[in-house]
Amino acid sequence: MAYSSVPYRAERVSEGEMLDRAVAFRDSMQTRRSVRQFSPDPVPRQVIELAVETASTAPSGAHRQPWTFVLIGDQETKRAIREAAETEERENYEGGRIPPHWREALEPLGTDWRKPYLETVPWIVVLFEQRYGIDTGGSKIHHFYVKESVGIAAGLFVAALHNAGLATLTHTPSPMAFLSRLLDRPENERPFCLFPIGYPAPDCEVPAIERKHLNEVLVEAPGTGV
């Protein structure tokens, strides 16, 4: 059955205002960095909830909203996640599970198997993708473009946290199946990304990387003109 439709009257701003807003948002997002050193300072739970609400505005295939955000705030679970993530990552880095081309790509970032920040942060959010849904009668509901939909939600989540003045890291300990067990998630869900969330540590440092310039990421299709 079709949805009924409702009027949509989005605010229309002048071009000047539009440019100002676009510049301000670009400038703000340019200051975002992925962080691996966090402060243990507490962060209000409500801010995380608001960021999840923002993330959950993401468009999704057939509006199935195929995501679950799992909030972790207790020290014991954080420690269990750290231990399991480090066990896997140690095998990756020291057990030779990372192929040479991957090791080379990571070397400039200086990452290793140690993930102490998983215990330092006030909050961890693990984003799960729902490979399919389950209706109230227990039947499976098809989900569409799950990776794309959840990826967009993850991007909005990162932006929402940054906008609130918080830092995070898109962390994908590999393999991530331990998160399903530790967090007792149902069979239809798979871990997509783990987000340690907090303030950067006062002595936090990040790699001196640069972002690609506009002309490296935007090309004109033939016939577009000026």
Select from 111, 134, 140, 186 the one that contacts ligand IYR (CB under 6 A).
111
User: Phi and psi of 170, rounded to 5°?
Assistant: -80, 100
Distances (CA, A) of 202 to 117, 146, 165: 14, 37, 14
**Rounded to the nearest whole angstrom, what is the least distance from the CB of residue 174 to ligand IYR in the complex?**
5
Choose the binding region for ligand IYR from 43-51, 144-152, 167-175, 203-211 (rule: CB under 6 A). 167-175
- Closest approach, Cβ 106 to ligand IYR, in A, equals 6
C-beta of 178: minimal distance to ligand IYR in Å?
13
Decide if residue 89 touches ligand IYR (CB under 6 A). Answer: yes
Nearer of residues 93 and 132 to ligand IYR, judged by Cβ: 93
C-alpha to C-alpha distance for 197 and 62, rounded to whole angstroms: 30
Kindly compute the dihedral angle of the four CA atoms of residues 123, 124, 129, 130, in this order, to the nearest 10 degrees: -60
- Looking at the Cβ atoms of 22 and 105, the one nearer to ligand IYR is 105
**Phi/psi zone of residue 138: left (φ > 0), alpha (ψ -120 to 50 degrees), beta?**
left
Contact segment (CB under 6 A) with ligand IYR among 47-55, 66-74, 137-145, 171-179 equals: 171-179
Nearest residue to 163 (alpha-carbon basis) of 65, 66, 48, 58: 48
Among 171, 182, 198, 199, binds ligand IYR (CB under 6 A): 171
User: What are the DSSP E strand ranges found in the chain?
Assistant: 67-72, 123-130, 132-134, 140-142, 167-168, 189-198
Contacts of ligand IYR in 197-226 (CB under 6 A): none
Using CB under 6 A as the criterion, which residues of the chain lie in contact with ligand IYR when the complex forms? 89, 106, 111, 171-174
